[in-house]
Every structure is written in structure tokens, then in C-alpha cells.
Amino acid sequence: MRTVVAFSVALAMVAAVLSGSVRANPGDDSPMTQAPRTRPKEGPVYSRSAFDVTPLSEARVSELAKSLTPEEAHVILRQGTERPFCGTLLDNKKEGVYVCRLCGLPLFSSESKFNSGTGWPSFFAPYDVDHVAYIRDESHGMERVEIVCARCEGHLGHVFNDAPQTKTGLRYCLNSASLSFIEKGTEAPAASRPIETATACFAGGCFWGVEDRFQQVAGVIDAVSGFQGGWVKDPTYKQVCFEETGHAEAVRVVYDPKVVSYEELLAFFFRVHDPTQLNRQGPDVGVQYRSAIFAANAEQAKAAKEFVERLQQTPKFAQRRIVTQVVGPEAAGEFYPAEEYHQDYHAKHGGSCVIPSDE
């Protein structure tokens, strides 16, 4: 098993290896700007776009490899490189998605494909930053950064920072043999489709800590910091903090209902904040820090109300009133994601919010 490195480490490798190349100044939509998220300690691993990217076992990879041609096996399994200008997908100009030839995971979109003139299909950003992994490559007397499929570790090609004409400054140089193409409008096979998800929204004080905790729950695909429950459209953090918007700092949780249930998320939510504090949470004071559950549908609203009622009858809350609001879908309103610098805040800064232990 080769050593796969994190995206942030890979970027440092690219800069160090190609220090003499032209540097690009990445924009906000560059994969360079996306920090690695906190991962659950156990259970499936999901990408931001809701694909199961749990590493495949060697046995499963061997089984999938039986469908490869000798040329594909040479490239994908033994880090081979096809000759320039010979790949079948080099001149493909159709709209669609390029997926891993071995396991089917979407890797690149036609929207990021460009003509680099190098003789291999080139892209400036992955389909999802969680779908591509990186390995230091010192073969053939060179220092490069190899890119592999994050799910099966099939060899794809290399990444370089010599494309200043693109949004990211990066050139993902791919072998056609490592890819399959699914044209837009064509039904994708099961291996190339995201899982079915559900969504839940919670407010329990500063969203930095709540988001971080939920991202560590097995079955949670993503947790996004934002605002909900108010009357101002597209609020900013400054507005929510210093003006009357009615919004609470909330976290939208996208999860796999086959792995974790809504009731389990409710139980976790009440373990990581104090639901008896009115319009505050610890040192943070104001209606924006209130405890609230914003139900996505009538079923969630009913389940949340019943859960709170049961919790109120337990010895832990016998002498303390739970003040958590349960807001139905009609009154919950739209969830507005917060500014990018609020997302994955704990992962970026090493933790900031002190919230109750979930033990």
C-alpha cells in the first residue's frame, strides 16, 4: 500500500517540486482553498458531494481489475503512462463526467477540461476534492505528484502547477485509460451515483463547534454553518450579530439515513449543547445563539417534539426546563450558508468553541 497524502500536503509538494514554474493566484473556487474536514472515527467515509469514498479492500480491487484490458491494467494498476496524443478521451468535447475506469467514482467534469497542448486529457480541478488523492512520486529520476482515485487508488496521472491560464493554476494530467466517460443526460451506473441523503438543521450556540462535532458522527456526510429561523434574506454574519434578523446560528447536517437515524442525531445534538440556556450558550449571548431544531418536514417536527418531551422527563432535566425551540417546516424558513471563512472553522484553526462533551 502506497502512502497517500492529504490535499493540503500535496499542494505543498507541488509547490516544492515545481518551484521554478509559473505560480497562479487561486480564486475562491480553487481546490487550493478547501480545507480538509474532520472525519468520523469509524463508519463509511463520504465526500462533500455525497459519494461513498471508503477505501476499497484489496480483494474488491482485484475483483474489479478482472474487467480491465491489459493496457488499462498497465496504466491503472502499475502506474503506466499512455503515449501522448493517443488517448481516446483527449479530444472528447462532449459534456459529462469522467469517472474512474476501475471503480466508477466521478473524478473530473467536462466543465474543468481544457486543452493544455501536452497530449493528455487535462483538467484544472477535480469533480470533488475528496475524490482524488495524492502520492509523492520520485520515479524516473524526477520529483512529481501522482494523482490516484481516492476510493480504489487506481493510478490516474500527475498534477502540475503550470497552468496559469486556468482558475486554479493547476493541470491535472490524466491517462484516458484510467477514465470512463458518462455523457450528460445518460443514466450513470450505481457505482457512479451519490448515495441517497436526508437533511436536518440544528442551532446550539456558536456554529463552529456544533458543525465540527456533527462532522465526526458516523453517517454524517457534511455539516455546514449558516443561519436560519429569521426574516432577512441572505443575511451576513455581521447582520446576524449586530442587527435584528431573527436568525440563529445553525448547522445543516446532510446524512445517510441508512447509517444514522434522525433520532440518533437528535440525541447527539442534546449531548453537545446545554438546552436549558435561553438565548445563549456559555459565553455567547443573544437570540442568534438560541437552542433550536428546524424541522425539514412534518415527520421531523413530530419526532423532535416527542424527543424533547421524553428528555424533559428524565432525571437529568427534572429540575431544569428545556428551552429548545422546535420549529416546523412552515416557519423554519430557508437555510442560508455562512461566509466561507466560517466553514470547517475548527479544522482550519484547531478548535475554537468550548462546548459540552458528548460523553
CATH class of segment(s) 7-192: mainly beta
Q: Where are the domains of the chain?
A: 7-192, 198-349
Superfamily of domain 198-349: Peptide methionine sulphoxide reductase MsrA (3.30.1060.10)
Instruction: Report the C-alpha gap between 12 and 10 in whole angstroms.
Output: 5
> pLDDT tens, 114-163?
999 999 999 999 999 999 999 998 888 888 899 999 999 999 999 999 99
Distances, alpha carbon 228 to alpha carbons 70, 269, 300, 301, 347, in Å: 54, 17, 16, 15, 23
Tell me which residues are annotated as active site. 173, 206
Q: What is the pTM of this model?
A: 0.79
Instruction: Report the C-alpha gap between 114 and 121 in whole angstroms.
Output: 8
Instruction: Report the C-alpha gap between 333 and 201 in whole angstroms.
Output: 11
How would you classify the pairing of strands 179-183 and 96-100?
A: antiparallel
The answer to whether the CB of 294 falls within 8 A of the CB of 253 is no
What's the pLDDT score for residue 304?
98
Task: Examine the pLDDT at 29 and tell me if it is beyond 50.
Answer: no
Grade residue 15 by pLDDT with cuts at 50, 70 and 90.
low
What's the pLDDT score for residue 246?
94
The answer to whether the CB of 101 falls within 8 A of the CB of 178 is yes
Cell of 314: 428524565
HEC-encoded secondary structure of 255-269: ECCCCCCHHHHHHHH
The letter for the amino acid at 54 is T
The letter for the amino acid at 253 is V
At residue 285's C-alpha, the angle toward residues 284 and 286, to 5°, is 130
> pLDDT tens, 265-313?
999 999 999 999 999 998 899 999 999 999 999 999 999 999 999 999 9
**CATH topology match: 7-192 vs 198-349:** no
Task: Examine the pLDDT at 171 and tell me if it is beyond 50.
Answer: yes
What is the overall mean pLDDT for the chain? 89
Query: In angstroms, how far is the first alpha carbon of the chain from the final one?
Result: 35
What's the pLDDT score for residue 42?
72
Average pLDDT over residues 59-70: 97
Q: Name residues whose C-beta falls within 8 Å of residue 89's C-beta, 6 or more positions apart in sequence.
A: 98, 121, 174, 176, 179, 181
% of the chain surpassing 90 pLDDT: 78
> pLDDT tens, 184-205?
999 999 999 999 999 999 999 9
> pLDDT tens, 320-342?
999 999 999 999 999 999 999 89
Task: Examine the pLDDT at 58 and tell me if it is beyond 80.
Answer: yes
